Structure 1
Amino acid sequence: MRVSALLLLSLLVTACAAPQVRPAGAIRKVVVVVGSRVDSLPSASYREDLMGEGNPRTVLSGSTEAVLRERGFEVAGTRISAAPSPSTDEVVSVIRENDAEAAVVVVLSWVDVSAVQTMGRADVVLEAGVVSPDGQLIWRKESRTVAMIGLYQSQTDYSSYLRKAVIQAVKEVP
C-alpha cells in the first residue's frame, strides 16, 4: 500500500513539475543575451561573492534561462554581454551561432536596494525583448518591479530581489 502511495505521489510531483508546452507556430528555440547598466550588486556575504551572485549579469542569465525552460522554450545558448546593452549585431551573431529562432534579451537598467535590509524592499527596472534572426525587434517591455523579500531572506539571499524581478519580466515574453 505504501509503495503504491509513494509511486502515485512521485508521478503527481513529476506531472506538476513538467515544463509548459509551447503552442504550435510559437517561437521555441531561443538564445539568451543579457546586459547590465548596473556594474555590481551589493552582496551581503562572502558566499555570494564567491558564487558570483554580486554580478548582476550572472543572476540575469541563470534566472532567465530557468524561467524560459519552465515555459517550454528550448534555450540553445547564452551570452553575457560586456556592454551595458548588447548591440543588435552581437544578438544576431548569437542567434546564428546557435541556429535559434530568436533571442530573448534582458538588460538590467536600474536597482535601488537602499531599503532592502530595513523594509525588505528593492526597486528593479529591467528591459526585456525578443529579437528575430534578422535583427528586428519582435517584442519589448520595460518593467519596474518592487520586490518584497523577508528580513531573513534579505540578510541571507541578498540577490533574491533581482531573481524575482527577472521571473516577473520573463514570464511576459510571448
Structure 2
Amino acid sequence: MRVRLFLLLSLLLTACAAPQVRPPGAIRKVVVVVGSRVDALPTNSYREDLMGEGNPRTVLSGQTQAVLRERGFDVVGVRISDAPAPATQEVVSLIRENGAEAAVVVVLNWVDVTVIQALGRADVILESGLVSPSGQLLWHKESRTATTIGMYQSQTDHSSYLRKAIIQAVNEIP
C-alpha cells in the first residue's frame, strides 16, 4: 500500500513540475506570430469544429504558446496573421507594442493526412524562426515531421498530429 502511495505521489509531483528556467542572458520575453499556407485541417468531430481545431492558425497559436511557456519563455503577445506568412513589419510592430525581446514565428507550410486513418501517420512541414526587434532573423529552421499517432486518436482527434509537430519544432528554438 505504501509503495502504491509513493508511486502515485511521485507521478503527481512529476506531472506538476515547474516549467524550465531560461539560462541567464537568453531571450526570455517573446511574442508569438503564426501563419499558415494550409487553409483548413481535416476535422472529424463537431467538438473539433466548435473548438476551432479545424483552423490551423488556432492550433499553431495555442500549442506554440504552451510549449514556449513550458520552456521558460514569457509570452507577452500573440498575433494570428491573415497572410500565409507574416510580414517582417507585422512581426516587428508586435515586438515593439509588447516590449518583447524577440518574436517566435511559426508558419505551417504543408500537411499530408492521406494515410492518417489507415496508418495513423501524417506529414507536416513547419517553418519556425526567431526575429529580433530590428527585424533581423536570428534563427530559422524548416522542419518536416512524420508524426505517428494511435489508431483511435487518428479517428477522433485529427489535430493531434499537428500539435506533436509543433512541439518538436518549437523545442528546437534556442
Shorter-chain TM-score bucket reads over 0.9
Query: Structure 2 vs 1, CA of residues 11 and 147 (structure 1 numbering), >3 Å: closer, same or farther?
Result: closer
CA distance in 1, matches of 2:50, 2:17: 30
Question: Partner residue of 1:134?
Answer: 134
Deviation, 1:102, is: 0.1
1:43 correspondence with 2:58: no
Q: Aligned residues, how many?
A: 170
AA aligned opposite 1:136: Q
User: What pairs up with 1:23-172 in 2 under 5 angstroms?
Assistant: 23-172=23-172
CA distance in 1, matches of 2:126, 2:81: 15
CA distance in 2, matches of 1:125, 1:18: 30
CA distance in 2, matches of 1:95, 1:137: 13
1:32 match: secondary structure: strand
2:30 match: secondary structure: strand
The TM-score with structure 2 as length reference comes to 0.93
Question: Partner residue of 1:18?
Answer: 18
Deviation, 1:156, is: 1.1
1:125-159, CA deviations, whole angstroms, 9 ceiling, x for partnerless residues?
00000000000000000000000001100111110
Query: Structure 2 vs 1, CA of residues 11 and 51 (structure 1 numbering), >3 Å: closer, same or farther?
Result: closer
Deviation, 1:46, is: 1.0
Query: Structure 2 vs 1, CA of residues 60 and 15 (structure 1 numbering), >3 Å: closer, same or farther?
Result: closer
Deviation, 1:9, is: 3.0
CA distance in 2, matches of 1:12, 1:55: 33
Query: Structure 2 vs 1, CA of residues 15 and 150 (structure 1 numbering), >3 Å: closer, same or farther?
Result: closer
AA aligned opposite 2:72: G
Deviation, 1:51, is: 0.5
AA aligned opposite 1:135: G
CA distance in 1, matches of 2:139, 2:156: 35
AA aligned opposite 1:104: V
AA aligned opposite 1:128: S
Unpaired runs of 5+ residues, structure 1, are: none
The TM-score with structure 1 as length reference comes to 0.93
Query: Structure 2 vs 1, CA of residues 48 and 11 (structure 1 numbering), >3 Å: closer, same or farther?
Result: closer
Deviation, 1:15, is: 8.3
CA distance in 2, matches of 1:55, 1:37: 11
Deviation, 1:16, is: 5.4
1:44-88, CA deviations, whole angstroms, 9 ceiling, x for partnerless residues?
111100100000000000000000000000000100000000000
CA distance in 2, matches of 1:43, 1:158: 6
Query: Structure 2 vs 1, CA of residues 136 and 153 (structure 1 numbering), >3 Å: closer, same or farther?
Result: same
